[in-house]
Amino acid sequence: MDYTVHDSGNLRELEMRGQITFEADTDFRAIFAAWEQGGIADCVLNLSAVDYMDSAGLGLLVMANNAARQAGITFRLKHPRGQVRDLIEISEFHTIIPCEF
């Protein structure tokens, strides 16, 4: 997985690419660490270019949601596609993390 950061005012959009699995753990921790430095009020995870996510990836979304709450950041998901969308819908993750389909 890799990602690009787009900042606009206090909104940060993270454009994720590739696969979100256990191997993405280090990247997510770097994302959380950046939140703690302040200056961000909202963060959107753009999933449109993520082609695969497994249950460990869902676990990372849970961790991201908790980390955002602790940092006082509004966290949401955006544009999941294919298998990622199916997984989010089957798991109803959009009921605990706002998701724009």
Partner 1 sequence: MSGGPPVVIGHPRTSSARPLRDVLGRLGVRRIVVVDDVRLAQIVADTAAEPPQLLLLHAGLPGFSPDFLMALRENANLRDVPVLVLGRFPAGTLRGELMRAGATDLLARPLTLAELSARLSVHLDRCRLDRSLQEVIRSLQTYHHGAMQRMALARQMQLGLLPDVAACRSLEGRYGIALDSHFESSSELGGDLWGARSLDDRRFALFLCDFTGHGVAAALNTFRLHALLARIDLPADDPAEALRVLNGLLVGLLPEAQFAAMIYAVVDVSADRLVYATAGAPKPLVRHTGGRLEVGPSCGLPLGLASEARYRNHCLDFPPGSTLLLFSDALYEARRWDGEMFGYGGVSDLVQGLDDSDLQRPLGRYFATVPRLLADDLTVLWISRNGRPRSGPD
Structure tokens at 40: 């961000």
Among 54, 71, 76, 78, binds partner 1 (CB under 8 A): 54
Q: How far is the CB of 11 from partner 1 (least distance, A)?
A: 25
Residue 46: Cβ within 10 Å count: 19
**CB of residue 18 to partner 1, shortest distance in Å:** 14
Binder among 96, 98, 100, 101 for partner 1 (CB under 8 A): 96
Residue 19 to residue 57: CA distance in whole angstroms: 8
Residue 18 vs 59, nearer CB to partner 1: 59
Q: How many Å separate Cα 10 from the centre of its chain?
A: 17
Counting Cβ atoms within 10 Å, is residue 5 exposed (0-12), middle (13-18) or buried (19+)?
exposed
CA distance 98 to 90: 15
Where in 55-94 is the site for partner 1 (CB under 8 A)?
55-56, 58-60, 62-63, 66, 83, 89-93
Which residues are near partner 1 by CB under 8 A?
A: 22, 52, 54-56, 58-60, 62-63, 66, 83, 89-93, 95-96
